[in-house]
Each structure stands twice: as C-alpha cells, then as structure tokens.
C-alpha cells in the first residue's frame, strides 16, 4: 500500500483559525468552483511533497530526517500578507505570506537533500515560504480571472501572528470527495535552544 505523503511544518489550531477568519470575506466573494478553499485544519507550510511512498520508505526517510532535524535550532516565523502565484492577474494559487529567518531556508534545503539522497526527485522550483489557502478553477474565463484579481487586490491581510517551529512533520494525504484529509505520521524535533 502506498501513502500519498508530504513533509511540512504544522500550524497551531489558533493560527489556522485566525487565517481563516481574516480571509472569510474573500472566501465568500470567491466561492467554489471559482476557488477551492483549503479548510483551516489543512493549512500547513509544505517543505517537500513526496507523492506516493511505501510505509517502509517513509520510515527510512523519517529516521534519516530525525538525525538531521536535531542539528537545526528552533525558530519563529511571522505570518501575514496575501498574494497569488504566479500573480494576481493569473492567480492559480492564493496564499498567505510568511516572514521567516534564513534558518527556514536552511532547514528546507536539508529536507530536500535528505529526500534526494533517498531517491526522491528534487523540486525544480525554488522554495517560497507560503501557506496555500486556495486554488483557482482550472478553466477560469477572462471575466472570472478579472473578478479574482479585483477581490485579491481589495483584500488586505495584515500581520496574523507568529509560530514557533519546534519540529517538522511527515503527513499522509487521503483524497476523498469532501477534500483531502491529512494525518500526521511522524513528528521530528528540532534542537531546543
């Protein structure tokens, strides 16, 4: 049995709720199918998407990452701001921004290196710390894209708080008709200060 998996930083429930509350007006003005919004409990910072992995390979990856994460000190990330990839004119992914120290990039690079050593293909795009909160429909018309852009430009999201990163997690993702369900399989601690 293969498990669809990814490595991420889990967010505390109160921050997930704050993000949801700060974007609820945007979500009301851009309902499904125009935008598929991520449920608050699924908000996380992805460090590496793995795809379908066997439980034995996940355990091997977790053991290798445990050794590496213990070398990285805990740190804090500030959360706030709103944007879209590739841009608001052709939004595909709607995100909340993150202001993180260089240690986040170092940690993500470490995760990528460990995964690559174990045979997982490297990510081709550069790492960009963000929280995906929504994805636009694949077949948006020009007028729908204009509406999305207008709503994004009108929405202001200031500082939403910060999170202390003390571990990274490996999750499995089960796809079902109501949306993805994420289950934490491993939590790998960083070095305490």
What distance in Å separates the CA atoms of residue 94 and residue 83, rounded to the nearest whole number? Answer: 6
What distance in Å separates the CA atoms of residue 72 and residue 103, rounded to the nearest whole number? Answer: 8
* CA distances from residue 125 to 56, 105, 117, 132, 169 in whole angstroms, order as listed: 28, 13, 18, 16, 21
Catalytic residue IDs: 44, 130
End-to-end CA distance of the chain: 39
Tokens of 51: 């795809």
Long-range contacts of 180-186 (CB under 8 A, 24+ apart): 180/42, 182/41, 182/42, 182/44, 184/10, 185/3, 185/5, 185/58, 185/62, 186/58, 186/62, 186/65
What distance in Å separates the CA atoms of residue 46 and residue 129, rounded to the nearest whole number? Answer: 8
Residue with tokens 């509350």: 21
């Amino acid at each position: 049995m293969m498990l669809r998996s990814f490595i991420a930083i889990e967010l505390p429930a109160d921050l997930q709720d704050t993000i949801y509350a700060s974007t609820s007006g945007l979500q009301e003005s851009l309902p499904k199918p125009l935008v598929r919004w991520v449920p608050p409990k699924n908000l996380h910072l992805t460090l590496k998407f793995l795809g379908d992995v066997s439980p034995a390979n996940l355990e091997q990856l977790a053991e290798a990452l445990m050794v590496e994460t213990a070398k990285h000190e805990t740190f804090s990330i500030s959360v706030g701001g709103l944007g879209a990839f590739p841009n608001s004119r052709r939004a595909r992914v709607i995100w909340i921004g993150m202001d993180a120290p260089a240690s986040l990039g170092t940690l993500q690079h470490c995760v990528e290196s460990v995964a690559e050593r174990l045979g997982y293909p490297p990510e081709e795009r550069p790492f960009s710390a963000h929280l995906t909160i929504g994805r636009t429909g694949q077949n948006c018309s020009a007028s729908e894209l204009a509406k999305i852009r207008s709503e994004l430009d009108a929405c202001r999201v200031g500082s939403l708080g910060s999170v202390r990163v003390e571990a990274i997690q490996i999750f499995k993702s089960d796809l079902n008709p109501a949306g993805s369900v994420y289950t934490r399989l491993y939590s790998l601690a960083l070095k305490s200060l």
